[in-house]
Amino acid sequence: MMISQFRWSAAVHIERGRFPHDVVPVNNNCLEPSPFKFSHHATQIQCTFHSSHTSGTEKKKKKKKKLIDPLAYSSSYYYYRKTPEKLRNYMGSQGSEEGGLLLKKPRFLCLHGFRTSGEIMKKQVGKWPESVLQKLDLVYLDGPFPALGKSDVEGIFDPPYYEWFQFNKEFSEYTNFDKCLEYIEDYIIKQGPFDGLVGFSQGAILSAALPGLQTKGVALTKVPKIKFLIIIGGAKFKSPAVADDAYASPIQCPSLHFLGETDFLKPYGLELLEHCVEPTIIHHPKGHTVPRLDEKGLETMMSFIDKIQKALTEKDQQ
């Protein structure tokens, strides 16, 4: 049967008229489905398929139950059999629907600012509208090292506080940087995959450098490539030991950058933009902070999310 003869208007009945909980339809109208294979193994499931346009005689023939090879069933063009891993990859936490198409919810690993924490960043990002937050699957990670000095957020947010690595006053020499990279990679291996990174302050500087370090084979060599970036109050590394690899080639992945008018890192954030192929920018009047979204910023943010959702969904369906 050609796929054109079996469109969404056809009534497909599986297991007494209900789709199994781990199956979603895949609309590949341009493809001819592979024929189902039938065998008699004990692991097979019983299903009946028929179209609402079938004649009475044909219905009687098709009502006869047949045993379907689960392997053929899971790889059919009609359906996408979701193992727990595929389910997470396809939908993130939940996914959304647009025009009958299931859009994947992008999954981001969030890297907090210097001497703060994942929990603090969650509260900072929580100022964004629910319309934004419900479209993203955000996972917050604490830095690998307890804060070695006073935190700028003491009295505003409760401890504990963490840092990703240590650096000198000129921000030109870094301590424990390699351990930081190993720590992030180990977390992604265990808790991933992730589609992108959200970084603020020290976490933003680190996030923006990771795609280049990954391309050069210096970091994250055991995990999938970073596809997207959201950079809040970011900048470039100064030390040639890191910068020469991190910015050896332009940052290819789509990126969203928050630039604060009174942020002391704004000039360095503008320098970072010069290394990005597809940057989207949200300007805000605040300083070095995770800002709320005004009407224009919200529109830009939603447009960026829609763009990466569609890119992920199209890639999964190829």
Q: Write the pLDDT tens digit of every residue in 187-239.
A: 999 999 999 999 999 999 999 999 999 999 999 999 999 999 999 999 999 99
Find the mean pLDDT for residues 141-152: 97
Q: DSSP 3-state helix, strand, coil percentages of the chain (rounded to 5)?
A: 30, 20, 50
Find the mean pLDDT for residues 288-312: 96
pLDDT digits (tens, 9 = 90+) for 237-264: 999 999 999 999 999 999 999 999 999 9
Find the mean pLDDT for residues 285-304: 97
DSSP secondary structure string for all residues of 162-179: EES-EE-TTS--EESHHH
- For the chain, the average pLDDT equals 78
Q: ∠ at Cα 105 (295, 12), nearest 5°?
A: 125
Give the pLDDT band of residue 99 (cuts 50, 70, 90): low
Q: How is residue 131 written in tokens? A: 């319309």
Under 8 Å between Cβ of 68 and 34:
no
pTM of the model: 0.70
Whole-Å CA distances, 170 to 164, 204, 249: 17, 18, 25
Task: Show the domain range for 258.
Answer: 107-316
Q: How many whole angstroms separate alpha carbon 190 and alpha carbon 276?
A: 29
- Res 32: pLDDT: 41
- Whether residue 47 lies inside any domain: the answer is no
- Whether residue 72 lies inside any domain: the answer is no
Indicate the pairing of strand 162-163 with strand 145-146: antiparallel
- Whether residue 267 lies inside any domain: the answer is yes
Q: How is residue 88 written in tokens? A: 């997470």
Q: How far is C-alpha 50 from the chain's CA centre?
A: 37
Percentage, residues of the chain above pLDDT 70: 68
Under 8 Å between Cβ of 269 and 257:
yes
Give the pLDDT band of residue 313 (cuts 50, 70, 90): confident
What value does the CA radius of gyration of the chain take, rounded to a whole number of Å?
24
Give the pLDDT band of residue 315 (cuts 50, 70, 90): confident
Q: How is residue 165 written in tokens? A: 């690595």
Under 8 Å CB-to-CB from 259, ≥6 apart: which residues? 266, 269, 270, 281, 282, 283, 284
- Whether residue 89 lies inside any domain: the answer is no
pLDDT digits (tens, 9 = 90+) for 78-94: 233 333 444 444 434 34
pLDDT digits (tens, 9 = 90+) for 27-75: 444 444 434 333 344 333 333 333 334 444 444 444 444 443 433 333 3
Give the pLDDT band of residue 95 (cuts 50, 70, 90): low
- Whether residue 268 lies inside any domain: the answer is yes
Task: Please state the domain count of the chain.
Answer: 1
Provide the CATH number for the domain around residue 242.
Answer: 3.40.50.1820
- Whether residue 193 lies inside any domain: the answer is yes
- Res 27: pLDDT: 40
Q: How far is C-alpha 18 from the chain's CA centre?
A: 30
Find the mean pLDDT for residues 104-131: 97
Bridge partners (DSSP) listed for residue 229: 197, 255
- Whether residue 50 lies inside any domain: the answer is no
Under 8 Å between Cβ of 260 and 291:
yes
| 70: region left, alpha or beta (phi > 0 left; psi from -120 to 50 alpha) | alpha
Under 8 Å between Cβ of 280 and 253:
no
Give the pLDDT band of residue 152 (cuts 50, 70, 90): very high
- Whether residue 38 lies inside any domain: the answer is no
Percentage, residues of the chain above pLDDT 90: 65
